[in-house]
Amino acid sequence: MWETCFLAVVTWISIGTIFYRVEYGWPLATAFFYAVDAGMSIGFCTEVAETTKRSRAFSVLFILLGASVVGGCLALFVADLLEGVSNTITAEYRTLIENDAFERNDHDNTGFLEFSDIAAVLKEAGYDFLPNEQIRYISEGIDKDSDQRISRREFNGFFRKVDLFLSGVDTFQRRKWIHRLLPDSSSVEEGRYFVYVVFLAWMAMGISWGMINQKWDIITSTHFAVSALATGGLTAPPVNERGVLPTDVAIFVGVFSLFGVPLFYLAMGYSAKLLIQAHLAENEQRIIRTPLKPYEYLIGSHLTSPENDVIHLSDFIVIQFLRRGLTDINAIKMIKKQFEAMDRSGNGFLTFEEATRTGIPGPDDYAETTGRNEVVEGMMDAGVGLSVASHPRSDSMWSEAMRKSQQ
């Protein structure tokens, strides 16, 4: 993923650099600086500015592209390099799977896996087609301290690295240096702290550059670093007597802003989430602990299990996800149909062979949304349940909707 994002960013910034170089005859470094300055909407307000309508028309498209596609790629690029910690749910789910595999194969409870244990993990995970030399290559690739055993921290991200290996040995080798440079985060919280550490280091680099290269005081240097990453551009380096930025200045400010801006918003996003995390957790507990309303019971008893007028654990879990707005009826339909497609024996549960069998066709039609709004709209009455007053329903209407969804 990060290679594709990096290529998109390089292509975008190269197009802008070449255009401004050709249009105004600026040195490449100055053209690169202005491409970042304009494309990231920083606006340093230097004397490096546009004067032609053709250039301004190009900049409009260049900025829109930078703010949408390229901005997203930059954020994904930074997040992927930081071990994908931007996706909390995926990271927690991956950690859950890895911890279970590690504990199941750590037979003597030493906190380490031998290379033979890694082979067992791969076999039970369905990678039994790998020859011994490739299994050893993978084991050596994640054995950072080369002690011929794998610690829990080294095991972090194991299945992701295996899939990377399967995508090509060359790709695996190119990424090994990244995994050796970055620490293995044993939890999502550690991954977030790592983002903060990288962000503060990036900020410190900008402040130090301002003090050493530009001879600014610490306040002005901090003002430059923060405003640049926040796309304010309130402090800008001066141009030389020819009206252009010195080459080293233009390159540093361009690179500092190009990768610092998405890193800044990634760190600020985590900070904002921390501020509201306690409130969200409290609200989530309130929703889960609230007893079901009678009309919620009627819906819940038919969500996933057979129509026997009782709520099973699977029904209860699904209705709690619906209450919290984490899924909708259409998604439940897709999951249910996929389960039925995989349940070849029709006995209502999946064996290991059925669950892991490749080539299983998906459900025929996920697009049908008839009755979806009638079922979903009305959920979440103040975050608790269905609003019968606004959306009255009858048992016969719900039964008919469920029969259609199961056809």
Question: What DSSP state is assigned to residue 361?
Answer: -
Inter-residue contact 22 to 52 (CB < 8 Å): no
pLDDT < 50 positions in the chain: 83-89, 169-188, 365-407
Query: Which part of the chain has CATH 1.10.287.70?
Result: 1-85+187-275
In order of 38, 61, 113, the CA distances from 147 in angstroms are 50, 54, 11
Q: Buried b vs exposed e over 355-366: b needs ≥16 C-beta within 10 Å?
A: eeeeeeeeeeee
Give φ, ψ of 325 to 5 degrees.
70, 25
Question: What DSSP state is assigned to residue 385?
Answer: B
CA distance 40 to 120: 49
- Give the contacts of 398 (CB within 8 A, at least 6 positions apart): 298, 299, 302, 375
CA distance 366 to 335: 10
pLDDT of residue 87: 44
What end-to-end distance do the CA atoms of the chain give, in Å?
38
pLDDT of residue 1: 57
CA distance 301 to 294: 11
pLDDT of residue 206: 96
In order of 274, 306, 386, the CA distances from 370 in angstroms are 39, 22, 19
According to CATH, the superfamily of the domain at 88-181 is: EF-hand (1.10.238.10)
CA distance 46 to 251: 15
Helix (H, G, I), strand (E, B) or coil at 149: strand
CA distance 282 to 290: 12
Query: Which part of the chain has CATH 1.10.238.10?
Result: 88-181
Q: What is the dihedral of CA 186, 191, 192, 197, to 10 degrees?
A: 120
| Lookup: tokens for 121 | 């993990």
CA-nearest of 203, 327, 344 to 267 is 203
Residue with tokens 């250039």: 55
Helix H or strand E encompassing 112: strand 112-114
148 φψ region: left (φ > 0), alpha (ψ -120 to 50), beta (else): left
CA distance 121 to 310: 39
pLDDT of residue 66: 78
Helix (H, G, I), strand (E, B) or coil at 379: strand
Please tell me the pTM assigned to this model: 0.53
Residue 174: how many CB atoms within 10 A of its CB? 12
In order of 62, 168, 214, 251, 291, the CA distances from 220 in angstroms are 30, 48, 10, 20, 57
pLDDT of residue 386: 35
Which fold would CATH assign to domain 1-85+187-275?
Answer: Helix Hairpins (1.10.287)
Question: What DSSP state is assigned to residue 143?
Answer: -
Helix (H, G, I), strand (E, B) or coil at 114: strand
pLDDT of residue 191: 59
pLDDT of residue 336: 87
